[in-house]
C-alpha cells in the first residue's frame, strides 16, 4: 500500500497525491505493470475521500502515467524512454543577453527620433475612440496585406505627399521593414542575386543572409548606385534608396534613375526595391518623385516605414507592389496573417485620415530643421570647424562631415570612445575595403546640442594630438 505523509501536502490534496505517485513511478519505486491500490482502499487507509484519490488517478491517466482496466484496477504504464531522458546534470542557465547601449557624453551615432515629439495625447485619444467605435472590426481578421482603411489612408498620403498614384490594394502592411524584406525574398525567390549599395545599410544584408542570399555590392558615386557597378554584379534585384541614400544622403538624379530602370527592363525577373525610409524629412523644395512613379513596367517595389515619421516602437512598415506581384502575393503568401495588430492599424488609419499625421510630420520637420541648423552652428562655433567640411544634402536626420587629418578612422573612433563620444565613420558602412575615409556621420535627431558642441571640441583636440 502506498503511504505518503499527508502533513507535508501543500495546496490541493489530490495534487499532492498525484505528484507523489508520479515521483514514485519516475524513480522506479513503482514499476511498469504494477497495480496501484484501489481508490477505496487507498482512501480508507489514509482517512481521505475517494474523490480525492479519483482526481489524482484521473490526472495520472490523462498524462499517461497509469492506465485503468475496467473492473480490475489501475496499473503503472510503460514508460520506456524515460530513463534515457532523465536529467543527468543540472544545466547552467547562462544566458548571454546583448549588452545595453553604454551611456555616452555625446552620442552622434544615435539616429532615433526624439521621443518627446511623439504625439502621445492625440495618439491616446484616437486609440481610445478606435476601441470604442470599432469593437467589431478590431476582432475581425485583417486581410494578409493589412486592413483596407489603413491601406487607403497610406495611398492618400502617398498621393498628396509623394505624388504617387497607387491602388490601396497594391499595399502590403507588415511589422517593420525587416519583416517586409523577408516577404520580398519569399515573393521574388532566394535563387535570385540581390545587389545592395556600397556603402549602405547593413541590416538589409543581414536579413537577406538569413534567407541564404549572399548580397552583391555595387559601388556608389555622387549620383548613387552606378549602372556599371550594378550590371557587373550580375544581380537580378537591386535594393536601393534613390531618394536619400544611407548614409551619404545622395539623391539619385533622373538620368541615373532612368538608367537603373532601363537595366531592370532589360530582363524578365529583374526588380528594383526602392527603400524610401525617410522621405518625409526632405527639408527644402518638393519631395523627389519616387522611382516607383517613374516606372511604367512593373519593375519597382516601393517600401516605406512609420519608424522615422512616428516611432520605431510601433512596428508598422509597408510596401507597394506592382500589380503582377501583388497578385502573386495574394496567390502565394496570403496564408500569412498580417503581422500588425488591428488595434494599431485602425488607430493609425484614423490618425492619418483625421490629418494628425500630416500635422505631426510638419511639426517634426520644423523641429529637425531647427535641430540641424543648431548642430551646424555648434560645429561652426567649435574648433573642429577649422579642419572639417560639412556636407549637406538637405534631407534626412543626419549629415556628413569630412575631416582633414592623417590619422586612421578606427584610431579616431577609438580615441573618441575613450572620451565617451560615439560617432560613426562613413568607412564603417562599406562592405568591401574602401579608400573612402575621414568622413563622419552626424546624427542630430536626438542629440543634446550643447553636449554635441563640446564633443566637437574634444574631436578637434584628438585630431590635434
Q: How many CB atoms lie within 10 A of CB 90?
A: 6
- Identify the residue among 160, 206, 414, 434 touching a second copy (CB under 8 A): 206
User: Is 256 a binder of a second copy (CB under 8 A)?
Assistant: yes
Site for a second copy contains 193 (CB under 8 A): no
Length of the chain: 465
**169 φ, ψ (degrees, to nearest 5):** -70, -10
* Nearest distance from C-beta of residue 367 to a second copy, angstroms: 15
Which of 107, 146, 108 lies closest to 317, judged by CA? Answer: 146
Q: Is 176 in the site for a second copy (CB under 8 A)?
A: yes
> What is d(CA 404, CA 118) in angstroms, rounded to the nearest whole number?
38
* By CB under 8 A, residue 297 contacts a second copy: yes
Rounded to 10°, the helix 50-63/39-46 angle is 130
Site for a second copy in 80-99 (CB under 8 A): 80-82, 84-88, 91-98
- Interface with a second copy includes 27 (CB under 8 A)? no
Residue 1 or 296: which CB sits closer to a second copy? Answer: 296
Stretch that binds a second copy, among 176-184, 229-237, 353-361, 384-392 (CB under 8 A): 176-184
Q: Enumerate the β-bridge partners of residue 198.
A: 219
If the CB atoms of residues 159 and 203 are measured against a second copy, the closer one turns out to be 203
Distance CA 118, CA 124 (A): 11
Nearer to a second copy, 109 or 382 (CB): 109
List the one residue from 16, 42, 123, 292 that touches a second copy (CB under 8 A). Answer: 123
239 C-beta neighbours (distance < 10 Å), count: 26
Between the two ends of the chain, the Cα-to-Cα distance in Å is: 86
The span from the CA of 450 to the CA of 163, in Å, is: 39
Rounded CA-CA distance 29/324 in Å is 67
Q: Which stretch binds a second copy (CB under 8 A): 258-266, 352-360, 371-379, 381-389?
A: 258-266
405 binds a second copy (CB under 8 A): no
Q: How far is CA 81 from CA 57, 59, 85, 436, in A?
A: 22, 20, 7, 62
Smallest distance from a second copy to CB 403, Å: 27
Query: Which residue among 4, 118, 356, 431 contacts a second copy (CB under 8 A)?
Result: 118
Cα(243)–Cα(252) distance, rounded to whole angstroms?
A: 6
C-alpha cell of 277?
525610409
Position among 156, 298, 428, 457 found at the interface with a second copy (CB under 8 A): 298
- Binders of a second copy: how many residues, by CB under 8 A? 113
Stretch that binds a second copy, among 327-335, 351-359, 371-379, 404-412 (CB under 8 A): 327-335
- Which residues 419-448 are close enough to bind a second copy by CB under 8 A? none
Strands 424-425 and 439-443: antiparallel
Query: How, if at all, do strands 271-275 and 300-305 pair?
Result: parallel
Question: Is 182 a residue that touches a second copy (CB under 8 A)?
Answer: yes
Pairing of strands 388-391, 398-403: antiparallel
Q: Are 349 and 147 in contact (CB under 8 A)?
A: yes
- CB-wise, 202 or 404, nearer to a second copy? 202
Closest to a second copy by CB, 3 or 284: 284
Q: Which of 38, 50, 152, 265 binds a second copy (CB under 8 A)?
A: 265
Quickly list DSSP for 66-98: EEEETTTEEEEPP-TTHHHHS--SPPP----PP
Residues 30-49 that bind a second copy (CB under 8 A): none
What is the crossing angle of helices 409-418 and 449-464, to 10°?
120
Q: Does 252 bind a second copy (CB under 8 A)?
A: yes
Q: Contact with a second copy (CB under 8 A): which of 28, 35, 40, 254?
A: 254
Under the criterion CB under 8 A, does residue 394 sit at the interface with a second copy? yes
Cβ atoms of residues 161 and 278 within 8 Å: no
Task: Say whether residue 169 binds a second copy (CB under 8 A).
Answer: yes
Assign 363 to helix, strand or coil: helix
Given candidates 140, 232, 389, 450, which one binds a second copy under the rule CB under 8 A?
140
Query: Given candidates 24, 275, 295, 409, which one binds a second copy under the rule CB under 8 A?
Result: 295
Q: How far from the centroid of its chain's Cα atoms is residue 340's Cα?
A: 12
Query: Among 34, 133, 167, 392, which residue sits at the site for a second copy (rule: CB under 8 A)?
Result: 167
Give the one residue of 248, 339, 371, 382 binding a second copy; rule: CB under 8 A: 339
Q: Which of 313, 281, 304 lies closest to 115, judged by CA?
A: 313
Residue 94 CB, nearest approach to a second copy (Å): 7
Nearer to a second copy, 175 or 415 (CB): 175
Instruction: Tell whether residue 223 is a contact of a second copy (CB under 8 A).
Output: yes
| Cβ distance to a second copy smaller for residue 276 or 382 | 276
Q: Does 50 help bind a second copy (rule: CB under 8 A)?
A: no
**By the rule CB under 8 A, 156 interacts with a second copy:** no
Amino acid at each position: 500500500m502506498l503511504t505518503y505523509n499527508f502533513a507535508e501536502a501543500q495546496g490541493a490534496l489530490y495534487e499532492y497525491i498525484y505528484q507523489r505517485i508520479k515521483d514514485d513511478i519516475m524513480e522506479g519505486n513503482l514499476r511498469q505493470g504494477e497495480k496501484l491500490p484501489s481508490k477505496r482502499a487507498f482512501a480508507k487507509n489514509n482517512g481521505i475521500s475517494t474523490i480525492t484519490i479519483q482526481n489524482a488517478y484521473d490526472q495520472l491517466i490523462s498524462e499517461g502515467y497509469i492506465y485503468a482496466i475496467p473492473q480490475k484496477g489501475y496499473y503503472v504504464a510503460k514508460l520506456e524512454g524515460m530513463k534515457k531522458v532523465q536529467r543527468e546534470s543540472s544545466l547552467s542557465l547562462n544566458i548571454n543577453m546583448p549588452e545595453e547601449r553604454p551611456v555616452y557624453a555625446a552620442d552622434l551615432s544615435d539616429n532615433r527620433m526624439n521621443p518627446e515629439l511623439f504625439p502621445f495625447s492625440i495618439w491616446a485619444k484616437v486609440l481610445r475612440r478606435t476601441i470604442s467605435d470599432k469593437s467589431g472590426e478590431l476582432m475581425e481578421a485583417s486581410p494578409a496585406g493589412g486592413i483596407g482603411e489603413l491601406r487607403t489612408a497610406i495611398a492618400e498620403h502617398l498621393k498628396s505627399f509623394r505624388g504617387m498614384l497607387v491602388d490601396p490594394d497594391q499595399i502590403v502592411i507588415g511589422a517593420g521593414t525587416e519583416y517586409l524584406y523577408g516577404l520580398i525574398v519569399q515573393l521574388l525567390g532566394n535563387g535570385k542575386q540581390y545587389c545592395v549599395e556600397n556603402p549602405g545599410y547593413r541590416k538589409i544584408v543581414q536579413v537577406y543572409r538569413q534567407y541564404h542570399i549572399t548580397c552583391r555590392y555595387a559601388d556608389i558615386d555622387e549620383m548613387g548606385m552606378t549602372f556599371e557597378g550594378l550590371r557587373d554584379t550580375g544581380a537580378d534585384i537591386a535594393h536601393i534608396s534613390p531618394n536619400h541614400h544611407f548614409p551619404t544622403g545622395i539623391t539619385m538624379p533622373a538620368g541615373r534613375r532612368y538608367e537603373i530602370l532601363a537595366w531592370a527592363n532589360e530582363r524578365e525577373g529583374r526588380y528594383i526595391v526602392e527603400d524610401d525610409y525617410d522621405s518625409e524629412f526632405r527639408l527644402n523644395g518638393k519631395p523627389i518623385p519616387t522611382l516607383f512613379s517613374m516606372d511604367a513596367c512593373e519593375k519597382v517595389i516601393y517600401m516605406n516605414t512609420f519608424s522615422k515619421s512616428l516611432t520605431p516602437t510601433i512596428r508598422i512598415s509597408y510596401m507597394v507592389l506592382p500589380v503582377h506581384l501583388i497578385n502573386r502575393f495574394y496567390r502565394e503568401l496570403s496564408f500569412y496573417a498580417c503581422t500588425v495588430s488591428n488595434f494599431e492599424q485602425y488607430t493609425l488609419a484614423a490618425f492619418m485620415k483625421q490629418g494628425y499625421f500630416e500635422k505631426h510630420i510638419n511639426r517634426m520637420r520644423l523641429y529637425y530643421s531647427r535641430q540641424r541648423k543648431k548642430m551646424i552652428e555648434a560645429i561652426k562655433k567649435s574648433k573642429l570647424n577649422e579642419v572639417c567640411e560639412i556636407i549637406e544634402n538637405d534631407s534626412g536626420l543626419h549629415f556628413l562631415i569630412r575631416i582633414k587629418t592623417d590619422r586612421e578612422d578606427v584610431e579616431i573612433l577609438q580615441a573618441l570612445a575613450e572620451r565617451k563620444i560615439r560617432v560613426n565613420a562613413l568607412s564603417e558602412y562599406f562592405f568591401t575595403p574602401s579608400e573612402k575615409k575621414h568622413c563622419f556621420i552626424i546624427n542630430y535627431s536626438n542629440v543634446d546640442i550643447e553636449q554635441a558642441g563640446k564633443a566637437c571640441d574634444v574631436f578637434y583636440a584628438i585630431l590635434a594630438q
